[in-house]
């Protein structure tokens, strides 16, 4: 993998830090008129998601990280791993629970997800921004009450729980915004 | 910034008017003070040897130089201005463009404007007074003046003695004061001092006032005289306003042999750091042998001053076209 000098630092550049792949968020050049120049860098650790700061001597080089993002189709979960397929090459990869993390509750078979690969292995799985999932359980007794104060909880086919309006019933499909975890609308039957 | 807007200036028209007024007021100040305005070559056979500063290099080819004459763009007009002083110019000032390779950021543009002036008969303390007078003339509000020695600044902020602390103590101070992500940094002593100063001390300097930092470690003398021995300090100062370094001044070194030693030391450091050695200004050395009148000199960043006077946080806002549009 190529290495990058501090002069190549910019937002989005992927580098290796302490053995983990990281993405540069911000890069600030600090230099006294007479004296050592520094690059003060804000970095996201792509494995843990944590943001950290790091100070480099200007001109130093850092190893690049072989990280790229690609759209992949979610196939299935075997209890331990989640399997994804590149829709063009049909190549499959398996993601562990650390990579899938909170996204697991939105994953529906066939959906296209954004998968971040490091050396070919998934480290981040992002679900589609909107998913359509069917309601597997919700309190039916509230039908008819349309005053709609706060809605009610509904459990979806993937196990996610979202608040839905009172009129939503078991077996219906709804559209959910995965970034906020909020109900958007009822989905037309496909 | 879209591609279509790139022809437009990065500074507003109001900012350019403010800048023009500032330049006029600087010239009036020196006219009244009897300081002569001079111009010196931007391109020179010689370069700044300072290990932390890199020059742009160019070449003249033509009559009298068929094979090409390598030339360096000035990083400051210091050397030719000192040659003028050695030739009995008396007090002089210059407003000029200077060029520094490898410097670009919110407070850096590779070409920028320096105001540099020299006062025979002044020491660095007297010159600090004149800098303060000028800045208060240019500023819309009068700023109180604070003078702080380099040692006091480190003592107050970090409880560290910058003249005697070891590298390990300086490193520990940086970590204790929460400087993030420095565990792997390998720096020499001056490198750690620069890190502490620029990251932990500078941001607090010159808040609603002018702060002059003076008496730098002898190892950071650059072209300043060194005096005293417990500890030896460089008779050098810097001005900070709103946490921004604005000016750097010296009680000027006038010893030709010592100047040559520093040039050679700089070039050795450049060599060790894997940077090219550069030709030292032999004509400056000859001029110093002839005799530099005892004097103090200062270089003030005009763009930086504009930034703090107008509350701008990016240098591009105070220059007509920054590097992106140059």
pLDDT digits (tens, 9 = 90+) for B12-36: 999 999 999 999 999 999 999 999 9
SS3 labels along B281-297: CHHHHHHHHHCCCCEEE
Give, in words, the CATH class of A130-186.
mainly beta
> Do A3-63 and A67-126 agree at the fold level?
no
Angstroms from A15 CA to nearest CA on chain B: 15
d(CA B248, CA B131): 10
On whether residue B151 sits in a domain, the answer given is no
Please report the number of interchain residue pairs, chain A to chain B, with beta-carbon separation below 8 angstroms.
Answer: 73
**Interface predicted TM-score of the whole assembly (ipTM), two decimals:** 0.85
On whether residue B52 sits in a domain, the answer given is yes
On whether residue B182 sits in a domain, the answer given is no
Q: How many CB atoms lie within 10 A of CB A47?
A: 16
Structure confidence at residue A147 as a pLDDT band (50, 70, 90): low
On whether residue B258 sits in a domain, the answer given is yes
**Residue B230 CB burial class (10 angstroms; 0-12, 13-18, ≥19):** exposed
**Chain A environment of B190 (Cβ under 8 Å):** 35-36
**Residue B144 CB burial class (10 angstroms; 0-12, 13-18, ≥19):** exposed
φ and ψ at B255, to 5 degrees? -100, 110
B248/A33 CB distance under 8 A: yes
Burial pattern B70-103, b for ≥16 Cβ within 10 A else e, equals ebbbbbbbbbbbbbbbbeebebbbbbbebbbebb
Confirm if A164 and A182 have CB atoms less than 8 A apart: no
> Which chain B residue has the Cα nearest residue A58?
B102
- The residue range of the domain holding B239 is 3-144+208-325
Instruction: Give yes or no for residue B276 having a pLDDT over 90.
Output: no
Domains contained in chain B, number = 1
The pLDDT assigned to A146 comes to 58
Angstroms from B79 CA to nearest CA on chain A: 16
Question: How do residues B156-182 score in pLDDT, each as one tens digit?
Answer: 999 999 999 999 999 999 999 988 889
On whether residue B196 sits in a domain, the answer given is no
A30/B199 CB distance under 8 A: yes
d(CA B57, CA B46): 10
Confirm if B315 and B10 have CB atoms less than 8 A apart: no
A33/B238 CB distance under 8 A: yes
- Return the CATH architecture of domain A67-126: Beta Barrel (2.40)
B106/A40 CB distance under 8 A: no
The pLDDT assigned to B273 comes to 84
Residue spans per domain, chain A: 3-63, 67-126, 130-186
The pLDDT assigned to A145 comes to 57
Give, in words, the CATH class of A3-63.
mainly beta
d(CA B19, CA B25): 10
CATH number at residue B314: 3.30.930.10
Confirm if B63 and B35 have CB atoms less than 8 A apart: no
The pLDDT assigned to A151 comes to 86
Question: How do residues B289-321 score in pLDDT, each as one tens digit?
Answer: 999 999 999 999 999 999 999 999 999 999 999
A36/B248 CB distance under 8 A: no
Q: Which percentage of chain B shows pLDDT scores above 90?
A: 92
Nearest to A71 by CA among A120, A122, A112, A132: A112
């Amino acid at each position: 993998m190529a290495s990058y000098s501090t002069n190549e630092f910019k937002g989005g550049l992927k580098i290796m830090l302490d053995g983990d792949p990281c993405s540069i968020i911000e890069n600030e050049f600090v230099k006294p008129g007479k004296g050592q120049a520094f690059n003060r860098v804000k970095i996201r650790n792509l494995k843990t998601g944590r943001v950290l700061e790091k100070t480099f001597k200007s001109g130093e080089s850092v190893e690049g990280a072989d990280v790229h993002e690609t759209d992949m189709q979610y196939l299935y979960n075997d209890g331990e791993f989640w399997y994804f397929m590149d829709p063009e090459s049909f190549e499959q990869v398996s993601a562990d629970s650390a990579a899938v993390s909170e996204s697991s509750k939105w994953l529906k078979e066939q959906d296209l997800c954004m998968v971040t690969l490091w050396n070919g292995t998934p480290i981040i799985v992002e679900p589609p921004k909107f998913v359509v999932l069917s309601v597997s359980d919700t309190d039916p007794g509230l039908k008819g009450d349309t005053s709609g104060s706060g809605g009610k909880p509904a459990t979806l086919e993937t196990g996610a729980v979202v608040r839905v309006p009172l009129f939503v019933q078991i077996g219906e499909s709804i559209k959910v915004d995965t970034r906020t975890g909020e109900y958007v609308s009822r989905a037309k039957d496909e | 910034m879209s591609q279509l807007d790139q022809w437009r200036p990065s500074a507003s028209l109001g900012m350019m008017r403010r800048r023009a007024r500032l330049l006029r007021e600087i010239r009036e100040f020196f006219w009244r003070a009897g300081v002569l305005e001079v111009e010196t070559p931007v391109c020179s056979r010689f370069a700044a040897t300072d290990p932390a500063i890199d020059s742009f290099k160019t070449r003249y080819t033509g009559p009298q130089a068929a094979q090409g004459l390598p030339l360096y763009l000035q990083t400051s007009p210091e050397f030719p201005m000192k040659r003028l002083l050695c030739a009995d110019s008396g007090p002089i000032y210059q407003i000029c463009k200077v060029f520094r390779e490898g410097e670009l950021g919110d407070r850096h543009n590779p070409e920028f404007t320096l105001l540099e002036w020299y006062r025979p008969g002044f020491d660095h303390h007297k010159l600090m007074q004149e800098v303060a007078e000028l800045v208060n003339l240019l500023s819309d509000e009068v700023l109180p003046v604070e003078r702080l020695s380099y040692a006091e600044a480190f003592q107050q902020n970090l409880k560290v003695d910058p003249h005697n602390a070891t590298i390990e103590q300086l490193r520990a101070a940086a970590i204790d004061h929460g400087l993030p992500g420095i565990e792997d940094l390998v720096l020499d002593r001056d490198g750690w001092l620069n890190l502490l100063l620029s990251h932990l001390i500078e941001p607090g300097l010159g808040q609603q006032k002018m702060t002059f930092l003076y008496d730098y470690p002898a190892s950071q003398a650059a072209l300043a005289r060194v005096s005293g021995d417990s500890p030896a300090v460089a008779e050098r100062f810097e001005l900070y306003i709103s946490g921004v370094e604005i000016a750097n001044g010296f009680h000027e070194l006038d010893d030709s042999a010592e100047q040559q030693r520093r040039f050679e030391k700089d070039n050795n450091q450049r060599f060790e750091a894997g940077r090219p050695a550069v030709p030292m200004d032999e004509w400056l050395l000859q001029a110093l042998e002839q005799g530099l009148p005892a004097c103090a000199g200062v270089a003030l960043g005009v763009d930086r001053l504009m930034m703090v006077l107008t509350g701008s946080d990016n240098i591009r806002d105070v220059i007509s076209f920054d590097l992106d549009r140059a």
